[in-house]
A and B are shown apart, each in its own frame.
Chain A
Amino acid sequence: DVKVTQSSRYLVKRTGEKVFLECVQDMDHENMFWYRQDPGLGLRLIYFSYDVKMKEKGDIPEGYSVSREKKERFSLILESASTNQTSMYLCASSSGTSWSDTQYFGPGTRLTVL
């Protein structure tokens, strides 16, 4: 079974803090994704990566950056957390050269920024 893990289930941070969200997958998948999920807005793509050290902006990259130093790990970084970044963050991975393959999701990190 594919397993995607996220470093924290719940996280509380203060405005202005630098926040790291970690995601690890154990299936040697090439593609990894970061989404945020908000009520009424659904899932929105923040960043994705199709290979080590490669990254592409999604729909809402502002205020975020990412890092993929190893194939299995994809980190989302909030450089200076703000209250409007309070959300559920979901990481996903998929195999192959096509991003249309099934995405496997982690359990999510609920981030609250005070």
Chain B
Amino acid sequence: KQEVTQIPAALSVPEGENLVLNCSFTDSAIYNLQWFRQDPGKGLTSLLLIQSSQREQTSGRLNASLDKSSGRSTLYIAASQPGDSATYLCAVFYGGATNKLIFGTGTLLAVQP
């Protein structure tokens, strides 16, 4: 069964700290992987998309890495700010018969001022 897991479910850090969010997936035959941000009561905003042939993607203070062979991705946030507080969701796209995004349940991040 294709599953996506995010641990921890919640994380609290002081402002300015660098942090890493983790995502693991059971089936390594992915097409791509996306990281989303969700603010309370709101929809999802796409942060980064990594194709299966790529190892990482960067956008500003965010860096996402992908290791297909171990079934893992990390989202690195540098110099965290209170405005980074949100839920971060990882989603894996499987092609073929699955042909859809499979989402993790997210990590709720709180950055304390």
Residues on A facing B (Cβ under 8 Å): 4, 40-43, 45, 48, 58, 90, 92, 99-100, 102-108, 110
Please report the total number of B residues contacting A with Cβ < 8 Å.
Answer: 23
Q: Restricting to B84-98, which residues have a CB under 8 Å from any CB of A? A: 89, 91, 93, 95
Contact residue among B44, B95, B99, B104 (Cβ-Cβ distance under 8 Å from A105)? B44
> Knowing A100-B93, A102-B34 touch, does A42 contact B44 (C-beta < 8 A)?
no
Residues on B facing A (Cβ under 8 Å): 4, 31-32, 34, 36, 41-46, 49, 89, 91, 93, 95, 99-101, 103-106
Chain B residues near A58 (CB-CB < 8 A): 100
Chain A residues near B45 (CB-CB < 8 A): 105
Chief secondary structure at chain B's binding surface? strand
A-B contact count (CB 8 A): 47
Residue of A nearest to B43 (CB): A105
19 CB < 8 A contacts A-B? A4-B43, A42-B4, A42-B104, A42-B105, A42-B106, A43-B103, A45-B100, A45-B101, A58-B100, A99-B100, A100-B93, A102-B34, A102-B49, A103-B34, A103-B101, A104-B46, A105-B36, A106-B43, A110-B41
Chain A residues near B100 (CB-CB < 8 A): 45, 48, 58, 99
